Structure 1
Amino acid sequence: MRYFIAVAEEGSITLAAQRRLFTSQPSLSRQLKDLEDEIGVDLILRSAKGVELTEAGTAFLKHARLALEHVETGVDAANRAAKPAKPTFAVGFLTGQEVDWLPETTRLLRDQLPNMEMTISSQYSPELAEALIRGKLDIAFLREERNTPELIYIPVTSEPFVVVMPSDHRLATNEDIDVHDLAGEVFIGASNIAYPMRVAIETYLEESGVALEPSHRIHNLTMAMSLIASTRGMALLPAYAKNFLPWSVTSRPLRGNQPTLELMIGYSRNNVSPLLKLFLSRLEGLAKQPQIRAALSRRT
């Protein structure tokens, strides 16, 4: 039936043999003749221009296609029954953080990897929180988002902020930057979508006695890089932003006391996945052990 369908769709025994079936033309012709003999009627008319279906062939084609679909469905069902689906563990990363934390995550579950399917996604923090709440993710490396009582957050690490600016900016010659030097520059701040970052930046500026009114506000790092390059502005961004820097943009550490922003592991209170439970039981094995151990001790 598969051979017959290929010939019917190609309109030629030669083309069907070469393009679709990768068999010889005589072999294909014999198969078609055997099929017609078994059914007892002619299915195709052969001519110098190719082949055409008889009325019987047209009627048979529809049922042949349905029969093959049922066969393929049956094969899939048999395979699923013989090999039950592996449990899935869905991990999300704040875009850019997978560079540092995906290897750590897979290391904690290395002994389980042959028996599970791990899916990876990269999104911005609010989208990750929403995916955790909806059950689309088991864990996520993200910021602690507002209005998410359904989620539990465990601190992973505190990231210092750096100053990000055009590579040819006059301050780029400095080894570090005094925050007061940002006065008078085009300043790019964080929007409410990036609320944890906005709070950290504004608190730091207030404590430093620096009044900077943002000319633009961003809610992700891709947007930040674009604005810095196009407006020749400056921004305070978490250090992992260095993973995104194009050639036209560079970063320098802040001089003196540096503000930080916590990276969290988040998960849903309602998630009862055995793999999640196992992952959480091994969290002390992550690279930043002191912080995680302290967070876990507070939970218990």
Structure 2
Amino acid sequence: MELRHLRYFVAVAEEGSVLNAAQARLNTSQPSLSRQIRDLEAEVGVKLLERQARGVTLTAAGAVFLDHARLALLQVDAATEAARRAAQPNRATLSIGFMVGLEVTWLPHLLRLIREDSPDIEVTLSSQSSPELALSLMAGKLDLAFLRPEKQSLGVSFKLLAKEPLIAVLPAGHRLAAHKKIGPQDLAQETYVSSSRTSPVLQSVIEEYAASAGIILKAKYEGENISSAMSLVASSGGVTLVPVYAQNMLPPNVVARSLEGIPPKVDLVLGYAEANPSPLLRRLLTRANDLIVSVQNQSIIRYAEAQIEVS
């Protein structure tokens, strides 16, 4: 079995189509890719994919194999990245990832800690979705990430930074904009825009909130991320639920309002690979509590346990 077989299988499984995987991701022909998948199934000894008229679906065995194939490829990526870093021992770098918008709150305080410890270190930044950040940590492409506690993040540890209350975002001219707080029954009557397409942890929190309130929030529109969801709110006249840090990203034609009662909260964590040998990373982790206190004391957004009022 070769690595290319694993890459081909993962591409087909994620695309749900041999044709799409061949054309959009692998730059190969459909017959050639189909042959490679058949060879892989023959070597594994079980059927991994069900061929259907409109694409392919995973068998039970295929779903299990997919998780292991992804992990194997991530381990190869991590090994490659580790080797490259080892070949450049004098190049001190720290790679940090953020969910879009979070860097506004956390980066200034984090950079202060980094400069106090290692003023000459090269810092690189990237913005990705929370699941993508977890994968980058697993692959050794990031040293540190501000994300959600994603499941199946093998070898990644999480340090709780904050429990972020959710708030409602709606158009400035919306009838509910005159309210200081918005109740779940108000939300249930409005066009709902999902802000959690690429955040399964956030989606789970919103679903639990809706279930406990006895309402249904069925998304009519789905944003790729929080920023695009707020744009959809402005254009559709609907409402969405987002973590409180998203106040940093509000366009001028939408407003944020707190939720009635005890608002649902989503965990924000600091993620890092347990096997990462970076001495700077280890020193920063010992100062994680200093980072939390610094943000709580100085940020315009207070990550407090009490309900947060937003205007």
Same fold (TM over 0.5): yes
Alpha-carbon shift at residue 133 of structure 1 (Å) = 1.2
Matched residue SS, 1:212: coil
Q: How does 1:118-133 map to 2 (within 5 A)?
A: 118-133=123-138
Per the alignment, residue 109 of structure 2 pairs with: 104
Distance in 2 separating the partners of 1:192 and 1:221 = 9
Matched residue SS, 2:119: helix
* Among candidates 252, 274, 285, match of residue 290 of structure 2: 285
Per the alignment, residue 141 of structure 2 pairs with: 136
Please report the RMSD computed on the Cα atoms of aligned residues, expressed in angstroms: 1.9
Per the alignment, residue 259 of structure 1 pairs with: 264
Do the aligned partners of residues 114 and 86 (structure 1) sit closer, same or farther apart at CA in structure 2, a change above 3 Å counting? farther
Per the alignment, residue 230 of structure 1 pairs with: 235
* Among candidates 171, 175, 186, match of residue 176 of structure 2: 171
Q: How does 1:1-300 map to 2 (within 5 A)?
A: 85-191=90-196, 193-288=198-293
Distance in 2 separating the partners of 1:86 and 1:226 = 41
Distance in 2 separating the partners of 1:101 and 1:213 = 32
Q: CA contact under 8 A between 2:169 and 2:257: conserved in structure 1?
A: yes
Q: Deviations over 1:185-210 (max 9, x none)?
A: 10112455310110000101111111
Q: Deviations over 1:85-136 (max 9, x none)?
A: 4411111111111111112212222223323112222222122112111111
Q: Deviations over 1:25-52 (max 9, x none)?
A: xxxxxxxxxxxxxxxxxxxxxxxxxxxx
Q: Deviations over 1:202-243 (max 9, x none)?
A: 101111111222212334112201211121110111111111
Distance in 2 separating the partners of 1:110 and 1:260 = 32
Q: CA contact under 8 A between 1:157 and 1:288: conserved in structure 2?
A: no
Alpha-carbon shift at residue 169 of structure 1 (Å) = 0.1
Q: CA contact under 8 A between 2:197 and 2:225: conserved in structure 1?
A: no
Distance in 2 separating the partners of 1:278 and 1:253 = 37
Distance in 1 separating the partners of 2:283 and 2:140 = 17
Q: 1:100 is aligned with what amino acid?
A: T
Do the aligned partners of residues 133 and 261 (structure 1) sit closer, same or farther apart at CA in structure 2, a change above 3 Å counting? same
Distance in 2 separating the partners of 1:214 and 1:282 = 40
Query: What TM-score, normalized to structure 1?
Result: 0.65
**5+ long unaligned stretches in structure 1:** 1-83, 292-300
Distance in 1 separating the partners of 2:233 and 2:273 = 36
Q: CA contact under 8 A between 1:91 and 1:139: conserved in structure 2?
A: yes
Distance in 2 separating the partners of 1:176 and 1:267 = 37
Matched residue SS, 1:279: helix
Distance in 2 separating the partners of 1:258 and 1:214 = 20
Q: CA contact under 8 A between 2:101 and 2:246: conserved in structure 1?
A: yes
Q: CA contact under 8 A between 2:184 and 2:215: conserved in structure 1?
A: yes
Say how many residue pairs are matched. Answer: 207
Q: Deviations over 1:37-74 (max 9, x none)?
A: xxxxxxxxxxxxxxxxxxxxxxxxxxxxxxxxxxxxxx
